[in-house]
Amino acid sequence: MKFKNYLNDKKILIDKTLDSVIPAEDKDPSIIHQAMRYSVFGGGKRLRPALTLASAELLGIDNKTAIYTACSIELIHTFSLIHDDLPCMDNDDFRRGKPSCHKVYGEPIALLAGNALLVYAYKTILKNNDFKEIKKETILSLIEEMTRCVDTENMLGGQVKDIIQEKKENKKEYLLGLYKQKTSALICAAIRSGAILAEATEKEMKALTRYGECIGLAFQITDDILDMMQDQRNPDKITYPGEFGIKEAKKDSEKFILEALDALKIFDDKSGFLSGLADYILTRQV
């Protein structure tokens, strides 16, 4: 399958670069660097950074120029996963089939390793300073995009809502809002960051943003469907398939995928990876 080959190919470059930006395991204080590496190299598919590379590529920017931006997105993702798993948050003992960071390194080190990954995301994006072809304004826009995607309107706001579990009249509207914050925000930032690097037009940016939002929603709904089918659903949390049934969840997820594909039309046939991802989400089993 073309999409999987592309992803595996990009994963090699992404992993190599992540290895170069995170301090070595034996660097003092080594336990936090071990914890950071344990989680970053704990089996992630690298979907988000691959999206950055793909949107940059679509608009004419090569992988070498986009790689630090892509990796900064993966570091943000790992930061959020480590903190999500903490005992005071979701209290998850496992992540991607392995003991979660705090089960291996203890709660305080996991907390600090999460913080450190957020800080290293900024360090990594600042590495764009080494590229003469990237304007200083562009780097500032990338930093702004990344900061906005984590703020209390987006990822952090989503985590708050996940905890307080408000009772809302319109559950569908509420859940889609929550998924936008929890999942679409970072996926959007990944795609938009590639486009920022390429100095995309407003029309291109709008199309890619809509694609990212829809892909994010479909991805999260599918995730919840898979959790439910594998009996891994957290009974304390309301989810899309839990509220509306698997059939309706699948139907709505497909609707978002079609909307995402529709947004890509302005790029003609060049958006191979992005449309491939849409198909992948529709058919994914894990």
Q: Which stretches of the chain bind its own copies, using CB under 8 A? A: 23, 27-29, 31-33, 83, 86-89, 107-109, 111-112, 115-116, 118-120, 122-123, 126, 129, 136-137, 139-140, 143-144, 147-148, 150-152, 156-157, 159-161, 163-164
Cα gap 174→211, rounded to integer Å? 20
Strand, coil or helix: 79: helix
Complex with its own copies: residue 120 or 219, whichever CB lies closer: 120
CB of 171 to its own copies, least distance (A): 17
Cα gap 262→257, rounded to integer Å? 9
Complex with its own copies: residue 142 or 278, whichever CB lies closer: 142
CB of 180 to its own copies, least distance (A): 13
Strand, coil or helix: 242: helix
Q: Helices (DSSP H) in 86-184: which residue ranges?
A: 101-105, 107-126, 136-150, 155-164, 171-179
- The pair of three-digit structure tokens given for residue 21, joined into one six-digit string: 């930006």
CB of 146 to its own copies, least distance (A): 8
Angle between helices 63-85 and 155-164 (to 10 degrees): 20
Complex with its own copies: residue 109 or 215, whichever CB lies closer: 109
Cα gap 81→86, rounded to integer Å? 9
CB of 248 to its own copies, least distance (A): 27
Complex with its own copies: residue 25 or 62, whichever CB lies closer: 25
Cα gap 56→197, rounded to integer Å? 7
Complex with its own copies: residue 36 or 257, whichever CB lies closer: 36
